[in-house]
């Protein structure tokens, strides 16, 4: 499928979805479309370079954690603010 045909299919799908939305939701969609226009054209490239690291580098990070650490986010957050 060509890019143009794919874009047309996507546009038809979005239009159909818009027809099914309640009128009060259309204002939110309008605001989102205006936001997207302000962002400029979508770029398929990465904005930040990816830095690869060997899996063995995880051993260094794991040594920073105390023995038996289970990764409880709630407890960790509470400890942070004590």
pLDDT value of residue 29: 92
pLDDT value of residue 46: 60
Q: Which H or E run contains 11? A: helix 3-20
- Domain range summary for the chain, segments of one domain joined by +: 3-39
* Nearest-10 Cα torsion for 74, 75, 78, 82: -170
pLDDT classification of 13: cutoffs 50, 70, 90: very high
pLDDT classification of 9: cutoffs 50, 70, 90: very high
Q: Which H or E run contains 8? A: helix 3-20
pLDDT, tens digit, 9 for 90 and up, residues 30-65: 999 999 888 877 766 666 777 888 888 888 887 887
């Amino acid at each position: 499928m060509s890019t143009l045909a794919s874009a047309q299919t996507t546009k038809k799908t979005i239009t159909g979805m818009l027809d099914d939305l309640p009128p009060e939701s259309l204002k939110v969609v309008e605001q989102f479309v205006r936001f997207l226009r302000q962002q400029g054209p979508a770029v398929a490239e990465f904005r930040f370079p990816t830095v690869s690291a060997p899996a063995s580098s995880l051993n260094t990070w794991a040594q920073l954690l105390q023995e038996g650490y289970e990764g409880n986010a709630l407890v960790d957050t509470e400890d942070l603010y004590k």
